[in-house]
Amino acid sequence: MSQQQFENFTASSLYCEKCKAAMPVRERLLLVLPDKEIFDYLCTGCGSSVGRREITAGEKLLAEAMAGGPRRAPMSVRLQ
Ligand SMILES: [Zn+2]
């Protein structure tokens, strides 16, 4: 079971100080840099920002591979 690992990639709910509860969040792309992307997490209850996350290019590829995205990373690469 790798549930904890999975949670590193998707934060579905975060604690909101305004709502005083763990609320479902909406991910919003805040900033795109050459080597990483910064996401803002907004509470779906009150709309305030409850968190922020930086995704490096490597992490993004990994997340896409896990989600079965367009780029599928090979499990092993054989060089010859
Ligand atoms: Zn809230």
| pLDDT tens readout for residues 4-16 | 554 444 568 899 9
DSSP H helices, the chain, are: 3-9, 57-66
CA angle 17, 22, 25 (to 5 degrees): 90
- CA 26 – ligand 1 centroid, Å: 11
Tell me which of 4 and 63 has the higher pLDDT: 63
User: Which pTM does this prediction carry?
Assistant: 0.59
Domain-wise residue ranges, the chain = 3-66
pLDDT given for residue 76 in this prediction: 59
- Decide if pLDDT at 77 tops 60: no
**Per-residue model confidence as pLDDT tens digits over 27-59:** 999 999 999 999 999 999 999 999 999 989 888
pLDDT given for residue 37 in this prediction: 93
CB 31 within 8 A of CB 37: yes
Q: Which residues surround ligand 1, an ion (CB under 5 A)?
A: 16, 18-19, 23, 43, 45-46
CB 11 within 8 A of CB 4: no
Distance CA(4)–CA(7), nearest Å, equals 5
